[in-house]
Structure 1
Amino acid sequence: MTSFMHFFTQHTPIFSILIPAFTAFLLVLLGNPGSGSLAQDRRQPWRRGLSLLSLILGAFTSVYYLILASSGDVQVYNLSEWAAPFGIVLVLDQLSAFMLVLTYALALPVIWFASKEWDERGRYFHAMCHFLLMGLCGAFLTGDLFNLFVFFEILLMASYVLLLHGQGKARFQLGIHYVTINLLASALFLIGLGLIYGSVGSLNMADVARLMPLLENDQHRLAVAGGLLLFVVFGIKAAMLPVGFWLPKTYAVATTPVAALFTIMTKVGIYAILRINGTVFDDAVSQNILQALLLIIGLITSVYGVIGAIGAERLRRFVGFMILSSIGTILIALSLMNTQAWAAALYYLVHSTIIGAAFYLLCGWITSQRGEFKDHFKIAPQMKQHKVVALTYFIIALMMAGLPPFSGFLGKVFILQSTASSPYQLLIILVVLLVSLLSILAMTRVGFILFWRSTQPEDNPAEKAYTAYQLLPAVAPKRNDKTIYILLAGLLAYMAFAAPIYQYTYSTAAQIQNNALYEGLLLKKDETGEIISVQPFDPENLPETKYGGEVIDPNAHLIPYLIPEQTLKGGHISEFKQRQIQGQHQADSQPENDQLKPMETP
């Protein structure tokens, strides 16, 4: 047991990626027949059991990571044992641990709900869910910009399949739009990375943050342009205006569990804005541009979302617009660029994600009991469970509108408190209060149509409406109501423990602003104390490769600082290279040897 714990601790950050990855591969290997025969397939219980077991294991792992990170320590994992910026690193800090717990707190109950009939409506549902989790966990843990792109693509490819789960013309049409938008975002992502690498010479987050202030004027402008392109990409993922019009319609056509699970997807964009644009590009030019853009976009998105909700004609689109409005509220907090505001944004982010998922699940419950009226805002016969559904809707409405004493109210209070030093304090307060008032009006309108104005069901057996009403289910879809109650109970606990949670988010916000901390942990130094890096960028500067061959390398003396001693003594470093290392260390060190030099070509 001691050996296992040592192994687990030694390789800690990567397990959150490997658990869903291996689960997804195993689920694919199990095979999957057509959706019409899944209910009779003897392998279906195995798929569900393996999926839920992996989710439980992943949830426990994320909680362990949260406990580990709460001390303030940052865990760094060097893939292939090469240190940054030459190797890709995973970084487990308070922010990444916080987002991992949120991911599993949402995924576990939602996929548990989907494991009762919903997963039979399309092929490879559980496999795609775990590929999605793999991409999410990787995006939250990576310390490298290109690796962030890779994990974005993994989660997006899984989301393409999940969006089409259950088939249907509307899903296919909006699925094409969704794929097209994200392919465009991916192209912009690559262009932005090219600009950053071409000007900075590195894609490691800590290294880019260190080098940004040292760039020449032209190089700095290119790097800032690359950072702003990434901001556009992350804005598309976060569904902020003017690149977020796709969200309400797209999420409205997804199946109930998929729509609930997708509420975490927009938060990946917000996380990336905070992690990359907020801390990596922290020079004065980038921060001034970002602050102005975020405030304007946040205010517009928040107001537009609630106005769209008031004008919505379907409940699912209504939820999408309300999520859009909450995204604007988070962006307003991020624009304040102070620790208190970022802590408030993180607190409100969790509330927004969970309540949005609960609302989408409620949409499935209501749709099942309204028959042909589905989730359209039309006067319909009273639902068979109208009392319990109305009460559930009332609680969700109070939470989403941000009324006391729920977590949405506390999150907005924290945000308003953080505006004390902002010159736009009055404007922000007015907008947040206005949006809250309009949210109440929008919720009241929906409740009035769905419950208050509902008609008495037909009681004449001779009428077709009577037969149609009798065929409607008298209870919620299996596990639907229970999953909603689990999520709402979680939000009540989130409200009850608001003080320690806010302390954690405040500590998290302070930690991610400390670039010197990440620089000291991720980047290695030579014998003179200089950081081993490539600056300025020179295409002739080549990092040491696994098998360098017999090429004279004036940088060989830096290799021991970049890889562990055990690996250095292994077979991956050739004898020829070992002799170079020893020879250069025996020679008198010269100051000009501290930086990387071009390798000779054979």
Structure 2
Amino acid sequence: MNDFLNFWHTHTPIISILIPAFTAFILILLGNPGSGYLSHDWRQPWRRGISFVSVLLGLATAISYLIHANTGQITVYNLSEWSAPFGIVLVLDRLSALMLVLTYTLATPVLWFASSDFDERGRYFHAMFHFLLMGLCGAFLTGDLFNLFVFFEILLMASYVLLLHGQGKARFQMGFHYVAINLLASALFLIGLGMIYGSVGSLNMADVARLLPALQPDQHKLAVAGSLLLFVVFGIKAAMLPVGFWLPKTYAVAATPVAAFFTIMTKVGLYAILRVNGTVFDDALAQMSLMAWLLPIGLITSLYGAIAAIAADRLRRFVGFMILSSVGTILIAFSMLNTEAWTAGLFYLVHSTIVAAAFYLLCGWITSQRGKFKDHLKTAPKMKQEKVVSITFFVIALMMAGLPPFSGFWGKVLILQASSDFPFQAWIIGTVLIVSLLSIIAFTRVGFILFWRATRPEDLSDEGEYVAYQAIPNHAPMRNDWAIYALLTGLVLYVICANPILKYIEQTSQQIQDNAAYEHVLLKKDEHGNVISVLPFDPTYLPETKYGGETKDENAHYIPYLITPDTYQGEHISQYKQEQIHHQNEHQENIPDDSTLKPMEH
């Protein structure tokens, strides 16, 4: 047991990524016939069992991470034992642990519901689901900007396949748009990273935050420009205006469980805005540039989503517009750049993700009860489960519109309280209240069409409408209703346990603003106590590898500080390099008191 615990603590951050990664590989190796044969394939129960057990294991891992992060400790995992900023690191802190728990809290009921029959409508559903989980976990845990790009691409590639799950013309058309938009975003992401690396010389988040204030004016402006380009990329992922018009129609055509799980995708963009633009680029120029855009974008997005929801012609698009509105509300909270506002925004982020997922699952239930009318907002015969569906819709409406006593109400109250000393308080209060009123109007309209104006079903047995109505199932799709109840129960518990949750989130907001703490944990120091990094950035510097030959390296004495003792004694450190290290250590008085790397001789 001690060996297991030691292994667990040693490899803590990466385990959450490896669980879905290995699961996805196993599911691919298990094979997958065409969708028409899955229901008769003997391997299908194995796929479902392996997939669900993996998600439960991931959920348990995420909860253990949350408990560990609640101590305030920042856990760092150096991939291949390369220390930051020269190697890629994973960082487990309060925020990443919170996002992991949110991801698996959503994934567990959604996958359980999808395993009823939705997973039989296309190939490799479970494998792609776990690749998506892998990308999400990696994006939340990485401490490196380029690695953030890598995990973005992993989750996006999986989302491309999942969006087309079940096939169909509409899904293919919107899937093409979705892919094109995200490919453009990926190109902008790389350009932004190039601008940051070219001016700062590092892509480690903690190191960039440390080096930014010391840059020359022209380099500093280039780095800030790169950060704003990343802000555009993250805004596309988060579906903020004017780059978020794609979301309502795209999510509307996705399969019900896919759309429900995709609600976490917008939160990846919001997380990245907070993590990168809010904390890494936190000097005066970067924050002024961010502030100039973030607040007006949040106000406009929130208003647009609520207004467009009133005019929506389909229920699924209605949910998409409500998601846009909630994204705007969260951006308003993030734009205030203070601990109280970030606490309110994160609290509301968790609420909006879960309630939107529950609403998409309800759309699947309503669609199954309306026959040929599906989710179109048109007058149709009464649903066979009208009472239970209407009650569920009413509860979700109260939660999503932000009415008491549910978590949406308390999230908005916290945002309003955080704006007390903010210069644009009147704009924030006015927008939040107007959006809440418009949301109530939008939900009233939808409820009126779906339930109040519903007509009496045809009762003449010789009519075609009677035959069509009798063909409608008398119950919800398998597991659909229970998956909704599980998510709604989670939101009720979220309110009941609001006090400890808010305390945790407040400490999270304080932690992510403490760049010095991340610098202390992530970055190594030399014998003089200086951080070993690249300042100023020298593009001619070429680090030596074991295949680089016997080249004089003025930086050899830093090697013992950057790698573990076992690696230092291994074969990768040549005898020639070890002699240089010993020689430089014997002449410490000749080593300048700084941590600037020097170019190697050629």
TM-score range, shorter chain: over 0.9
Aligned to 1:342: 342
Tell me how far 1:593 sits from its aligned partner: 6.7
Aligned to 2:365: 365
Tell me how far 1:543 sits from its aligned partner: 3.4
Matched, 1:576 2:598: no
DSSP 3-state at the match of 1:42? coil
Amino acid at match of 2:176: I
Aligned to 1:377: 377
- Alpha-carbon distance in 2 for matches of 1:215, 1:92: 28
Amino acid at match of 2:466: Y
- Alpha-carbon distance in 1 for matches of 2:583, 2:99: 47
Deviations 1:24-49 (A, max 9, x none): 00001011100011000000000000
**Structure 1 residues 493, 176: CA separation in 2 closer, same or farther (over 3 Å shift)?**
same
- Alpha-carbon distance in 1 for matches of 2:554, 2:217: 30
DSSP 3-state at the match of 1:455? coil
- Alpha-carbon distance in 1 for matches of 2:214, 2:542: 21
Aligned to 1:154: 154
Q: Is the 8 A contact 2:235 2:269 kept in 1?
A: yes
Aligned to 2:197: 197
Tell me how far 1:541 sits from its aligned partner: 2.0
In the TM superposition, 1:161-172 aligns within 5 A as 161-172=161-172
Aligned to 1:316: 316
DSSP 3-state at the match of 1:90? strand
What is the RMSD of the two structures over their aligned residues, measured on CA atoms?
0.8
Q: Is the 8 A contact 1:549 1:574 kept in 2?
A: no
- Alpha-carbon distance in 2 for matches of 1:503, 1:348: 14
Deviations 1:156-176 (A, max 9, x none): 000000000000000000000
Matched, 1:525 2:532: no
Matched, 1:396 2:396: yes
**Structure 1 residues 547, 94: CA separation in 2 closer, same or farther (over 3 Å shift)?**
farther
Q: Is the 8 A contact 1:333 1:341 kept in 2?
A: yes
Aligned to 2:410: 410
- Alpha-carbon distance in 2 for matches of 1:18, 1:483: 26
- Alpha-carbon distance in 2 for matches of 1:344, 1:367: 34
Q: Is the 8 A contact 2:231 2:273 kept in 1?
A: yes
**Structure 1 residues 420, 593: CA separation in 2 closer, same or farther (over 3 Å shift)?**
closer
- Alpha-carbon distance in 1 for matches of 2:242, 2:112: 35
- Alpha-carbon distance in 2 for matches of 1:210, 1:265: 29
- Alpha-carbon distance in 2 for matches of 1:567, 1:544: 16
- Alpha-carbon distance in 2 for matches of 1:47, 1:452: 43
Deviations 1:529-573 (A, max 9, x none): 111111111112233535543211111000011111121112221
Aligned to 2:266: 266
Aligned to 1:78: 78
- Alpha-carbon distance in 1 for matches of 2:412, 2:500: 17
Amino acid at match of 1:542: L
Matched, 1:597 2:598: yes
- Alpha-carbon distance in 2 for matches of 1:247, 1:290: 23
Amino acid at match of 1:461: S
Amino acid at match of 1:78: N
Tell me how far 1:291 sits from its aligned partner: 1.3
Deviations 1:179-226 (A, max 9, x none): 000000000000000000000000000000001100001000100110
Aligned to 2:353: 353
Q: Across the two proteins, how many residue pairs are aligned to each other?
A: 601
Aligned to 1:111: 111
Amino acid at match of 2:598: K
Deviations 1:286-323 (A, max 9, x none): 10111121100000000000001000000000000000
- Alpha-carbon distance in 1 for matches of 2:597, 2:449: 69
DSSP 3-state at the match of 1:591? coil
Taking structure 1 as the reference length, the TM-score comes to 0.99
Aligned to 1:283: 283
- Alpha-carbon distance in 2 for matches of 1:415, 1:148: 29
Aligned to 1:33: 33
Aligned to 1:17: 17
Q: Is the 8 A contact 2:82 2:563 kept in 1?
A: yes
Aligned to 2:500: 500
Gaps of 5+ in 1: none
Deviations 1:350-388 (A, max 9, x none): 000000000000000000010000000111000000000
DSSP 3-state at the match of 2:77? strand
Deviations 1:72-107 (A, max 9, x none): 000000001111000000000000000000000000
DSSP 3-state at the match of 2:296? helix
DSSP 3-state at the match of 2:552? coil
Deviations 1:250-288 (A, max 9, x none): 000000000000000000000000000000000101101
Tell me how far 1:423 sits from its aligned partner: 1.1
DSSP 3-state at the match of 2:155? helix
Aligned to 2:441: 441
Amino acid at match of 1:375: D
- Alpha-carbon distance in 1 for matches of 2:550, 2:66: 46
Aligned to 1:555: 555
Q: Percent identity?
A: 72
- Alpha-carbon distance in 1 for matches of 2:553, 2:134: 38
Q: After alignment, is 472-481 or 290-299 more displaced?
A: 290-299
In the TM superposition, 1:318-333 aligns within 5 A as 318-333=318-333
Q: After alignment, is 489-498 or 529-538 more displaced?
A: 529-538
Amino acid at match of 2:169: K
- Alpha-carbon distance in 1 for matches of 2:350, 2:3: 36
Q: Is the 8 A contact 1:555 1:593 kept in 2?
A: no
Matched, 1:296 2:292: no
Amino acid at match of 2:456: Q
**Structure 1 residues 284, 446: CA separation in 2 closer, same or farther (over 3 Å shift)?**
same
**Structure 1 residues 434, 99: CA separation in 2 closer, same or farther (over 3 Å shift)?**
same
DSSP 3-state at the match of 2:91? strand
Amino acid at match of 1:404: P
Aligned to 2:188: 188
Q: Is the 8 A contact 1:547 1:572 kept in 2?
A: no
Aligned to 1:102: 102
Q: Is the 8 A contact 1:192 1:227 kept in 2?
A: yes
**Structure 1 residues 346, 421: CA separation in 2 closer, same or farther (over 3 Å shift)?**
same
DSSP 3-state at the match of 2:38? helix
Gaps of 5+ in 2: none
- Alpha-carbon distance in 2 for matches of 1:186, 1:549: 37
In the TM superposition, 1:216-227 aligns within 5 A as 216-227=216-227
Deviations 1:409-465 (A, max 9, x none): 010011111001101111111110110011001000000000011011111001000
Aligned to 2:68: 68
